[in-house]
Structure 1
Amino acid sequence: MLGAVFAGDRKVELRHFDDPAPGPGEVVLEIMASGMCGSDLKFYRAAPGEGAKALGLGSAEPVIAGHEPCGSVVAVGAGVNPKQAWLGQRAMVHHYHGCGACPHCSTGWAQLCDEGVKQIYGVTAHGAHARYMKCPASTLVTLRDELSFATGAAIACGTGTAWGALQRLELRADQTIAIFGQGPVGLSATQLAVAFGARVIALDVSGERLARAREFGADACIDPTSCNAVQAIRELTGGLGAHLSLDASSSSQARRQAVQCVRTWGKACFVGEGGDVTLEVSPDLLRRQVSLLGSWTFSTVGQKQCGDFIAERGIEVERLFTHRWRLEQIDEAYRGFDAQQSGKGVVLAD
């Protein structure tokens, strides 16, 4: 089969790999949809052989990219519990694999494994930018029949990450939340928060992204380059500030504003990877009783809950995808994604 590999220096190559066969406890999925994630760009832009290695995640051997997998089970290995996986099962993949036995793994948080995460699919083990993908049956999360494979691919990382952050914040319908950054994760957070019944203030430096946030139900949109974002949020909330904020931008300034814009007793959550932030501890946090949280992706339990929420409320998650690609177009797909000329893309089976 052909699989897409990040070859370094902004190059994606289609290479030949053997079709996978499941070992004990494993399954093979026929991939129907494989999402493109902003975190892929770290590996796309890295020097040849330095992607996962530079991040301390394993060897420099090339692996098939794509960590937002969704498809159908076409092969089941020995010893797989039939309650976990079966032929024909529609499934997403939780793209982390740990020891399987520690307190974190046993509650669906393999990325927090006490022994260190063993595999990250699409990073240190073959991912989903291919026709087939092999993974442990324990990483599967069943996709409901009401949901498309493309929706499942979104939930498998970006939308699931937004869900995890909103759960950390304990969002309620009577609250106002300011969401900084309206890329795929931030826009997912906007879409989900609106479905919760919350009032959403969306922030981004891109007019196009703010327009999409408004289409997705944001009550107010702010370009922080055109005004004092914190003051604008306070004016929209009777001088109090938002109840909650979420930063999906990874911008140092946005992170600081996300803390400063919440009211006394408010909560701010950082979900964007990398970077840093500088805060005045007393006025920004302590003397306003502000809680600052970090949220890293989601558990298998959370992934299932996110899918259920979307199915039961009829949320049109597929609207997140502005571009749909075939595997043979993968180089063009990432060139556009890297240039930030497109929204979220998904690679679909023919």
Structure 2
Amino acid sequence: MQGITFPGDRTAVLKDFPRPEPGPGEAVVRVKASGMCGSDLHFYRGTVSFGGGADTIQGHEPCGVVDAVGPGVTPDTATVGDRVMVHHYWGCDACAHCRTGWPQMCDRENGHTVSITTHGGHAPYLVVPARTLLPLPDALSYEAGAAIGCGTGTAWGGIRRLGDIGGTTLVVMGQGPVGLSGTMFASALGARVVAVDVKDARLERARAFGASEVINSAQADLAETIADLTGGRGADVILETSGVAGADALTILGKWGRACFIGLPGEVSFRTEQQYKKQWTLMTSWTMSTVEQARCADFAVEHRLPVDDLYTHRWSLGQAAEAYRWFDEQADGKGVFVL
């Protein structure tokens, strides 16, 4: 089979790999959809020095059908033919974080991540520990399951960290795929969502995903506009997804405000003596747990959310070079490889 690799020089290359076979406790997934995530670009551009590389299949948003299971995999864990999402991390299974569904936070530092320390989903087949598989609801497409596996699930994780947002004015900074997902979830949860970006096309899409107001922060004074929209109180809640608007976020957060920063690389700083009277709660969020990934999928079904509409481009594996050239421009929406 062929899989997409990144040499690290802004190229995407198809290479031949053996079709994987499941070992003890493992399952092989026949990949039906594999999403393109913004964090792919760190490896595509060669701006990070860990993981991935020319000999590792990329893609950490896989979704598909169980094709084979290895020894010791019980039917309640995985069965051939199951429609599944993949939680793309696994750890020791023994520490408190692993036991509560957070293997990416494994205390024993022996965790693995799809497409970083092991082969990913930009290929026809993927082998993973069977315990990382989660049921894909029948009402969701494989493309939706792929998005929930990372980008959309990351937005859900941030929203869940923020707590009760119903009735609040919530500002989503950045309207790329993660930001649009945050806008979609926050609107469905009853928040008044103000979408912020520097591109009008993305802001128009934000309206379709439930934003009540949109602000082009390259054309309007963000602090003044938020003050006008809130009667001078500022934002109740902020979800920062762009990774470049941390400073702007703190200029618009009101008293008792809550902000969650999930955009990378991201930088947030403030002087306590200038801000302590505002009684803020500032936090970060790292994707989501296995439990929350399943909840995210169920929530999307229950509220009939248009997760598929996050994608503006669908590609075949043979179009890998063209697909990542397009994605590297960061000018449009989300892409997915459909197999």
Give the aligned partner of residue 252 of structure 2: 261
Q: CA separation in 1, counterparts of 2:271 and 2:192?
A: 28
Give the aligned partner of residue 40 of structure 2: 40
- 2:194 paired with 1:201: yes
* Residues 94-105 of structure 1: pairs in structure 2 closer than 5 A: 94-105=87-98
In structure 1, list runs of 5 or more residues that go unmatched: none
Deviation at 1:257? 2.2
Task: Name the stretch that deviates more: 273-282 or 164-173.
Answer: 273-282
Deviation at 1:195? 1.1
Q: CA separation in 2, counterparts of 1:60 and 1:177?
A: 38
Deviation at 1:61? 6.2
Task: Indicate if the aligned counterparts of 2:165 and 2:237 stay in contact, CA closer than 8 A.
Answer: no
Q: CA separation in 1, counterparts of 2:289 and 2:317?
A: 28
CA separation of 1:181/1:309 partners in 2, compared to 1, >3 Å: closer, same or farther? Answer: same
Give the aligned partner of residue 271 of structure 1: 262
Task: Indicate if the aligned counterparts of 2:246 and 2:266 stay in contact, CA closer than 8 A.
Answer: no
Q: CA separation in 2, counterparts of 1:33 and 1:60?
A: 21
* Residues 6-25 of structure 1: pairs in structure 2 closer than 5 A: 6-25=6-25
In structure 2, list runs of 5 or more residues that go unmatched: none
Q: CA separation in 2, counterparts of 1:119 and 1:148?
A: 26
Q: CA separation in 2, counterparts of 1:347 and 1:119?
A: 23
Deviation at 1:138? 1.0
Q: Give the SS at the match of 2:263.
A: coil
* Residues 72-87 of structure 1: pairs in structure 2 closer than 5 A: 72-87=65-80
Deviation at 1:194? 1.0
Give the aligned partner of residue 227 of structure 2: 234
Amino acid at match of 1:188: S
Q: Deviations over 1:187-237 (max 9, x none)?
A: 100011111121100000111111111121211111112222122112101
Q: Give the aligned length.
A: 339
Q: CA separation in 2, counterparts of 1:115 and 1:189?
A: 32
Q: CA separation in 2, counterparts of 1:342 and 1:220?
A: 20
Q: CA separation in 2, counterparts of 1:223 and 1:126?
A: 39
CA separation of 1:211/1:117 partners in 2, compared to 1, >3 Å: closer, same or farther? Answer: farther
- 2:129 paired with 1:139: no
Task: Indicate if the aligned counterparts of 1:323 and 1:342 stay in contact, CA closer than 8 A.
Answer: no
* Residues 316-327 of structure 1: pairs in structure 2 closer than 5 A: 316-327=306-317
Deviation at 1:60? 5.5
Give the 4+ runs in structure 1 shifted more than 6 A: none
Q: CA RMSD in A?
A: 1.3
Q: Give the SS at the match of 1:268.
A: strand
Task: Indicate if the aligned counterparts of 1:259 and 1:292 stay in contact, CA closer than 8 A.
Answer: no
Task: Indicate if the aligned counterparts of 1:110 and 1:117 stay in contact, CA closer than 8 A.
Answer: no
Q: Give the SS at the match of 2:166.
A: coil
Identity score, percent: 50
TM value normalised by structure 2: 0.97
Deviation at 1:258? 1.5
- 2:57 paired with 1:68: no
TM value normalised by structure 1: 0.94
Q: Give the SS at the match of 1:105.
A: helix
Deviation at 1:13? 0.8
Q: CA separation in 1, counterparts of 2:134 and 2:22?
A: 17
Residue in structure 2 matching 1:159, options 127, 152, 167: 152
Q: Give the SS at the match of 1:244.
A: strand
